[in-house]
Structure 1
Amino acid sequence: MAKIGIYGSSFDPITNVHLWTASTVAHRCKLDKIIFLPCSNKRPDKVMNISDEHRWNMILMAIRGNDKFVADDYEMKQMVWEIATYLTLKHFKEEFPDDEIYFIMGADLLLDIGEGKWKKSEELIQENKFIVMARDGINMLSAISKSPILRNADDGHTFHLIDKGLAMEISSSYIRDEFKKGGEPRYLVPDECYDYMKAHNLYK
């Protein structure tokens, strides 16, 4: 039985922080594989700054050479009404029936799920396992205890909390802003992705 982490994000663009985070989570949680899952540009709560093709190409560039990293465009291909993390995890559990599936997310998303803001929040928590990364200013244990949705699923196996060393705040939006304002974010993204963004004049 393998342990697989599903790492969903806009990856707009993918950054060295994404890669470092994934590598650290894989090491600490003894994961055999991490699936980078770019979200769909059809989601009503997301506005992408570049095309799916560019995001996808840069993810493939970024993870090349790491045997534990793979990319999957499952959510990119879904119709808008079928995009929900609950359905996504159901898909991967069916694809890997003999393996343990974990959804990797930040503590800010844990708060949203705990407040019932996600589709099928209750079923999502009851039927899946999560690796939750610290975010500055968020007390994860307090968030779980304050939410009926979260605390009633907290059986000691549902949540793997990573509370130290993963609260880096360099984001994709920071990198987009640097490109837009003529800054130099070169060493915040993989070299090949940086060259790709410059060649295609992205985020200008």
Structure 2
Amino acid sequence: MARIGIYGSSFDPITNVHLWTASTVGRRCRLDKVVFLPCSHKRRDKEMNVADSHRWNMILLAIENNENFEADDYEMNQEAWNANTYETMKHFKEKYPNDEVFFIMGADLLVDIGAGKWQRGEDLVKENKFIVMARDGIDMLKVISKSPILRNNDEGFHLIDKGLAMEISSSYIRDEFAMGGEPRYLLPDNCYQYIIDNLLYQRE
């Protein structure tokens, strides 16, 4: 039985912090594989800055030399009404029926699930396992204890509360490109060159 982590994000663009996070989580949680899952541009709560094809190409470039990393375009191909984490995890458990599948997320998302903001949040928590990464200012144990949705299913959470506080974001990198900055050491070299070659994130 393999241990597989599903790592969802906009990846707009993918950064060195994304890669470092996936590697660190994979090592600490003894994952055999981390699946990079770019979200759909059709989600109502997300606004992408480049075409899906560019986000996808950059992910492939970023992970090409790591045999423990894989990309999956499942959510990219979903309509907005079906692009939710419950359906996503159902899909991956069906794809890997003999393996243990985890959803990797930050503690900020744990707060939202606990507050009942996610579609089918209670079913999601009851039926799945999670790896939750610390975020500054969020007490994960307190979040779980205060939410009936979370505290009644707390055996499904693996909390990582140290050493994952790097906060260089994709939005920071986009802003640097737009302002004519030099963020080349914040993302893989081949992704940096891809952005330059395709004139992405440039201010019009």
The TM-score with structure 1 as length reference comes to 0.98
Counterpart-to-counterpart distance in 2, 1:135 and 1:167? 6
1:144-183 superposed matches below 5 A: 144-155=144-155, 158-183=156-181
Counterpart-to-counterpart distance in 2, 1:37 and 1:26? 15
Aligned to 2:105, the other structure's residue is in SS state strand
Residue 46 (1) aligns with residue 41 (2)? no
* Residue 81 of structure 1, CA deviation: 1.1
* Residue 182 of structure 1, CA deviation: 1.2
Quote the sequence identity (%): 72
Aligned to 2:119, the other structure's residue is in SS state coil
Aligned to 2:37, the other structure's residue is in SS state strand
1:181-196 superposed matches below 5 A: 181-196=179-194
The C-alpha deviation readout for 1:155-190, integer Å capped at 9, x for no partner, is: 3xx010000010111000000011111111000000
Counterpart-to-counterpart distance in 2, 1:80 and 1:6? 19
* Residue 62 of structure 1, CA deviation: 0.1
Deviation above 4 Å: which 4+ runs of structure 1?
none
* Residue 80 of structure 1, CA deviation: 1.4
Q: Which residue of 2 aligns with 1:17?
A: 17
Write the letter of the residue equivalent to 1:83.
A
1:45-124 superposed matches below 5 A: 45-124=45-124
Counterpart-to-counterpart distance in 2, 1:25 and 1:193? 22
Q: Which residue of 2 aligns with 1:202?
A: 200
Counterpart-to-counterpart distance in 2, 1:137 and 1:185? 27
Aligned to 1:41, the other structure's residue is in SS state coil
The C-alpha deviation readout for 1:14-72, integer Å capped at 9, x for no partner, is: 00000000000000000000000000000000000000000000000000110000000
Counterpart-to-counterpart distance in 2, 1:154 and 1:70? 28
Aligned to 1:8, the other structure's residue is in SS state strand
- Unpaired segments ≥5 residues, structure 1: none
Q: Which residue of 1 aligns with 2:29?
A: 29
- Unpaired segments ≥5 residues, structure 2: none
Counterpart-to-counterpart distance in 2, 1:141 and 1:69? 30
* Residue 92 of structure 1, CA deviation: 0.4
Write the letter of the residue equivalent to 1:65.
N
Counterpart-to-counterpart distance in 2, 1:39 and 1:19? 17
Counterpart-to-counterpart distance in 2, 1:14 and 1:81? 25
Write the letter of the residue equivalent to 1:177.
D
Aligned to 2:130, the other structure's residue is in SS state strand
Counterpart-to-counterpart distance in 2, 1:133 and 1:167? 9
* Residue 113 of structure 1, CA deviation: 0.4
CA RMSD of aligned residues (A): 0.5
The TM-score with structure 2 as length reference comes to 0.98
